[in-house]
Structure 1
Amino acid sequence: NLRVHLLEVEESVDRVFSDDSTKKAVNLLYMYPNGVNTVSSDIQGLTESSTNLGVVTTLENSIEYDSTARSS
C-alpha cells in the first residue's frame, strides 16, 4: 500500500519537477520491486527473500530509490 500525505507549505519553491518527470517518478514507484520475492517450499510461511524500498531522495536533477534486499 502507498500512503501519501500532502501538506501546504508557506515556503516558496525555486525548482520543481516537470509534470512528465513527476509521472515517471510515480510510475516507477508503482513498478519498483517491494515485498516478498521467494518463499520456502520446505517451511510453510517462511520468506526466503524480499526487497524493500527504503529511502527516496530527490537530487538536483534526479531521484534516487534505495532499497534493501534480504535473504534467509
Structure 2
Amino acid sequence: MPLAPPATRSEPDTRLVVLLFETALLTSGFSLESPQTYCQRIYSMIALGLSIDQDELPQSSTTEPAATESSGDAPPPL
C-alpha cells in the first residue's frame, strides 16, 4: 500500500502512528530504545484527549523517586 504524499500527512497523525507502532512492539515482547519518549507520547495523547494545554504538563525529571516499602500484594513502583 503506497504512503500518502508528505503534504497530506499531519503531525498529529504521524505521532499517533508512531505511538501505535511502539505499542505493538511492546505488546509483541520487544523493548523500546527510549521508554521515556514513549511515556511522553502517552502523556501527550492523554492531555490531548482531556483538552489540557501541553504547557501545563509536568516536565519529566531525571531523578528517581525514593523507594518505599511495599506489601507483597502491591505492584512495584513505576
TM-score by length of 1: 0.28
Kindly indicate whether structure 1 or structure 2 has the higher relative contact order, using CA contacts under 8 Å at least 6 residues apart. 1
TM-score by length of 2: 0.26
